[in-house]
Amino acid sequence: MTTSPDGEHDSHDIVAPGPQSPRSELAVAALLVAAAVSAIAFIVVYSLEKFSTQHELLGITLAASFAFVAAALLLFGERVLPSEEVAEDYPEAAAPMEQEEVAKVMEESTSGITRKRLLVGAGGTAGGAIGLAALTPALSMGPWIDVAPLYRTPWRPGRRLVDDKGKPYKAEEIEQETFYTAFPEGSSDRNLGASLVVVRVDPAALRLPPERAGWAPEGILAFSKICPHAACTVAIYQKPTYGPTQPGPALVCPCHYSTFDPAKGGEVLFGPAGRPLPQLPLTVDAGREIRAGGNFSDAIGPSWWGIEMEEPH
Amino acid sequence: MIRRTVNFLDSRTGAVPFLRKSLRYIFPDHWSFLLGEIAMYAFIVLVATGVYLTLFFEPSLAETTYTGSYKPLQGLAMSEAYRSAVELSFDIPSGLLMRQTHHWASNIFVAAILMHLLRVFFTGAFRKPREITWVIGLLMLFATLLEGYLGYSMIDDLLSGIGLAIGYGVALSLPVVGANLTLGLWGGPFPGDPAFESRMYVAHVFLLPILIGTLMAGHLALVASRHHAQFKATKRATERKLVGMPAFPAQVPRSLALMFATVAVLFLLGGLVQINPIWQWGPFEVSQGTNGAQPDWYLGWLIGSLRLVPGFDVTIGDYTLIPNPFWGGALFPLVVMAVLGAWPWLERRFGGVRGFHNILDRPRDVPGRTAFGFAFFTWVALIFLAGSADRATVFFGLDYESQVVFFRGAVIVAPIVAFFVTRRICRELKRGEEIGVDKERAEEEAEEEAQEAEREKEPAPA
């Protein structure tokens, strides 16, 4: 093989002669046959569909066929085909002549225009307006402007709390040291404002804000189950794990571990939540059934720009 | 035969000069240059298995009752989406293999991109003339993260519901426009309009794959246009001269072998190693959560950042300017992307290094960049680790709150320490080398002198 100093090969001999290895050629052929056998094995396993490890066998046979081809190619490249190091100049960094030409074409074609700024302005206006027009149909996707749905909850004074089967909760059923999930009677539970966590604490331990006096009859408290941090569901009711800041069992969201104190009306004890867990006022009626005494203390769900602006309704 | 084919092609397409160039395109030889290729091959597997999955998956939230062969879910009300995904896993022959291989491929895809990114960063391969290639690569990475998130969110099992709830919370938290954007995208408050499922679906199987494929094409076209950067492996390799293996005969079989090997590993994983057992999560209900469900690993850094931020909303009167999830869920990834994206220009501006670079750095040769890179990586990795603090609580009994307090401090202190330690190590390594080179040179000189002295002693041959 001849290589000139700049890496260009002699025209009669572009590629250096290969290593000449009939045994390697045989091995490559054997590997390819093995690949074919594996592929056929895959077809057979798929068609018979009767192995207890059907899924695993499918994976193994298919993977094996690809692996054999990989091995064959590797051997083919290393032992059968010639393999040589070559060198070449990097491409020119830039083409100054063409750059100049492009610039000239642009300059010369537009040099006769007298009202350049007017045209650029008009063009920009047309482009912007057409862009807006093209985006307008996207408004059909959702409310975009009307944010009122974000304040809506299905809770009304007197509405009964029911379990996931629709059975109303009675005050006696609510025990301490555990939590219950409740829904508004006769409402879709797909609504973010529907689900509640209900807990009972010792009435003596209650430290509710004064304006919420009477919201927790007999120490039974209800909160939105949706974490005000990032809309996960508050699904842990745990014993204090962090003595200094956590006085009693706390409601915890398992996504980012925002931790709320039910006895203090859902105050944040720990974690990233920027607002307390919204509390729902409760009453216990003559039949001992638990009913909503009104709507939540605050809008439910994660924070957004208007979350503090209106009461939930 | 070969000549006739070439002639046929050339006379009808005129493509042979291009083909000649492609065949002799030079690949510099280093194992780390293959990471990007692995990502590309994983993408091919994703497209192939993904198309297969679309033949069976029904992206609809219409309610139905499960009657398939998986007993624990029989008789349960669920969406068509979840039902068809479970059916795909149990009752469609080879469906589970394709679904698991698809999921594994997405994990390997992101991992390969990240490794490739680290290689390119620490060797300075992003420098002029390859800055645009770098930026396109970053865009591809972030498009891929969104793509993966939508992929497991469409299934409408409990895990995807929780992931979507968090996405909804983060979207709402965007200052000023968050609520409007979110209501528009979701079609209403969470869980949104049933059409949201179709919106995710078209994004996952059409918009984002096309975006990623287009970016990939641009990425590769730019690589080919400027040619590969290379290490100074031999004396012949210089800033102006590229040394390596030609595409054919040397590189093509190797690269194809890597492709087949990648496919083999992915199918083996898909066949033998369980991933996202969707039938265990159950259908999504707004009112339910699970403890211990984890997202795919590549979203762990965002879980960590959402968890570490102390609890506060920034408010002006009744107006909530910055809801809490914005910091961890939106600003943090944006900062990471912006810093990485701007890095080539930051280094030009403040590192004072200009001009073209075809020869790659070894990390120790540029202590400043390497130290910054490692500090930045430490920062992100610690936040990632903080995302698994609850697992440490479950498995090792470590107190969760104390861990969070520790991480809040560590993410500030550790990167600073990492910076100075790394810079020191780089400098020491270099100094050690210089001493070694000096020593070698001195020894050579001493030897030469000794030889000369010897020669002088010997009488010159007559």
The encoded tokens of residue A79 equal 């032992």
Residues in CB range of A240: below 8 A, 6 or more apart? A246, A247, A248, A249, A250
- In this structure, how many other beta carbons lie within 10 angstroms of the beta carbon of residue B56? 15
Contact B77, B17 (CB under 8 A): no
Out of A131-135, A243-247, B167-171, B352-356, least confident range: A243-247
In angstroms, rounded to a whole number, what is the distance separating the alpha carbons of residues B376 and B57? 40
The shortest C-alpha distance from B105 to chain A (Å) reads: 13
In angstroms, rounded to a whole number, what is the distance separating the alpha carbons of residues B440 and B453? 20
Contact B172, A304 (CB under 8 A): yes
Tell me the mean pLDDT per 10 residues along chain B, length 462.
91 91 90 94 97 96 93 93 95 95 97 96 94 97 96 90 93 95 94 94 97 97 93 89 90 94 97 92 80 79 94 93 96 97 92 84 93 96 92 84 92 97 94 86 85 73 51
Residue of A nearest to B329 (CA): A230
The shortest C-alpha distance from B73 to chain A (Å) reads: 18
What pLDDT shows up at residue A1? Answer: 37
Query: For chain A, what is the radius of gyration of the CA atoms?
Result: 37
Which 3-state string (H, E, C) describes chain A? CCECCCCCECCCCCCCCCCCCHHHHHHHHHHHHHHHHHHHHHHHHHHHCCCCCHHHHHHHHHHHHHHHHHHHHHHHHHHHCCCCCEEEECCCCCCHHHHHHHHHHHHHHHCCCCCHHHHHHHHHHHHHHHHHHHHHHHHHHCCCCCCHHHHCCCCCCCCEEECCCCCECEHHHCCECCCEEEEECCCCCCCCCCCEEEEECCHHHCCCCHHHCCCCHHHEEEEECECCCCCCECCEEECCCCCCCCCCCEEECCCCCCEEEHHHCCEEEECCCCCCCCEECEEECCCCEEEECCCCCCCCCCCCCCCCCCCCC
What pLDDT shows up at residue B400? Answer: 85
The shortest C-alpha distance from B136 to chain A (Å) reads: 20
In angstroms, rounded to a whole number, what is the distance separating the alpha carbons of residues B302 and B321? 21
Q: Is A160 left (phi over 0), alpha (psi -120 to 50) or beta?
A: beta
The encoded tokens of residue B165 equal 């709830």
The verdict on a CB contact (< 8 Å) between B307 and A241 is no
In angstroms, rounded to a whole number, what is the distance separating the alpha carbons of residues A97 and A114? 28
The confidence band for A241, taking pLDDT boundaries of 50, 70 and 90, is low
In angstroms, rounded to a whole number, what is the distance separating the alpha carbons of residues B127 and A93? 13
* Furthest CA-CA distance within chain A: 105
What pLDDT shows up at residue B142? Answer: 96
Buried b (16+ CB within 10 A) or exposed e, A284-298: beeeebbbbbbbbbb
Dihedral angle over CA of B334, B338, B339, B341, nearest 10? 140
Q: List phi, psi (to 5°) of A223.
A: -135, 155
- In this structure, how many other beta carbons lie within 10 angstroms of the beta carbon of residue B455? 9
What pLDDT shows up at residue A8? Answer: 47
What pLDDT shows up at residue A242? Answer: 53
Query: For chain B, what is the radius of gyration of the CA atoms?
Result: 28
In angstroms, rounded to a whole number, what is the distance separating the alpha carbons of residues B160 and B151? 9
Q: Is B136 left (phi over 0), alpha (psi -120 to 50) or beta?
A: alpha
What pLDDT shows up at residue B440? Answer: 83
The verdict on a CB contact (< 8 Å) between A304 and B173 is yes
Task: Report the residue from A55, A64, A190 with minimal CB separation from B286.
Answer: A190
The shortest C-alpha distance from A112 to chain B (Å) reads: 35
Residues in CB range of B308: below 8 A, 6 or more apart? A272, B328, B383, B386, B404, B407, B408, B411
Task: Report the residue from B162, B175, B257 with minimal CB separation from A77.
Answer: B257
In angstroms, rounded to a whole number, what is the distance separating the alpha carbons of residues B428 and B409? 29
What pLDDT shows up at residue B461? Answer: 54
Task: Report the residue from B93, B240, B324 with minimal CB separation from A272.
Answer: B324
Tell whether the model's pLDDT for residue A54 goes beyond 50. Answer: yes
How many cross-chain Cβ pairs, A to B, lie less than 8 Å apart?
305
Q: Provide the 3-class DSSP secondary structure of residue B295.
A: coil
- In this structure, how many other beta carbons lie within 10 angstroms of the beta carbon of residue A176? 11
The verdict on a CB contact (< 8 Å) between B170 and A274 is no
The shortest C-alpha distance from B226 to chain A (Å) reads: 6
Task: Report the residue from B249, B270, B309 with minimal CB separation from A83.
Answer: B249
Contact B373, A240 (CB under 8 A): no
Task: Report the residue from A253, A271, A308 with minimal CB separation from B315.
Answer: A308
Which domains, and CATH codes, for chain B?
Answer: 31-286+294-353 (1.20.810.10), 362-452 (no CATH)
What pLDDT shows up at residue A83? Answer: 81
What pLDDT shows up at residue A239? Answer: 66
Residue of A nearest to B263 (CA): A66
The shortest C-alpha distance from A289 to chain B (Å) reads: 22
The arrangement of secondary structure in A151-292, i.e. its CATH architecture, is 3-layer Sandwich (2.102)
The verdict on a CB contact (< 8 Å) between B268 and A60 is yes
Instruction: Count CA atoms closer than 13 A to B29's CA, side-chain side.
Output: 16
The verdict on a CB contact (< 8 Å) between A235 and B166 is no
Task: Report the residue from A62, A76, A274 with minimal CB separation from B324.
Answer: A274
Contact B241, A87 (CB under 8 A): yes
Q: Which residues of B touch A149 (CB under 8 A)?
A: 183, 188-189
In angstroms, rounded to a whole number, what is the distance separating the alpha carbons of residues B249 and A86? 12
Across the beta sheet with A267-270, the strand order is A236-238, A250-252, A259-261, A267-270
The verdict on a CB contact (< 8 Å) between B256 and A73 is yes
Residues in CB range of A305: below 8 A, 6 or more apart? B175, B176, B178, B179, B319, B320, B321, B323
Q: Mean pLDDT across chain A, nearest whole number?
A: 89
Tokens 């008789």 sit at which residue?
A: B75
Which of B130, B197, B225, B286 should one mutate to test binding to chain A, selecting the residue with the greatest count of A CBs within 10 A?
Answer: B286
What pLDDT shows up at residue A103? Answer: 94
Task: Report the residue from B169, B187, B259 with minimal CB separation from A231.
Answer: B169
Contact A300, A312 (CB under 8 A): yes
The shortest C-alpha distance from B306 to chain A (Å) reads: 7
Q: Taking residues A64-69, what's their average pLDDT?
A: 98
Which of B324, B383, B388, B406 should one mutate to test binding to chain A, selecting the residue with the greatest count of A CBs within 10 A?
Answer: B324
Which of A89, A135, A305, A313 should one mutate to test binding to chain B, selecting the residue with the greatest count of B CBs within 10 A?
Answer: A305
Q: Taking residues A21-27, what's their average pLDDT?
A: 92
DSSP secondary structure code for residue B362 in this structure? P
Beta bridge partners of A222: A198, A280
In angstroms, rounded to a whole number, what is the distance separating the alpha carbons of residues B452 and B446? 10
What pLDDT shows up at residue B459? Answer: 60
What pLDDT shows up at residue A189? Answer: 67
The shortest C-alpha distance from B291 to chain A (Å) reads: 6
Q: Taking residues A84-97, what's their average pLDDT?
A: 87
Contact B122, B363 (CB under 8 A): yes
Q: Taking residues A252-263, what's their average pLDDT?
A: 91
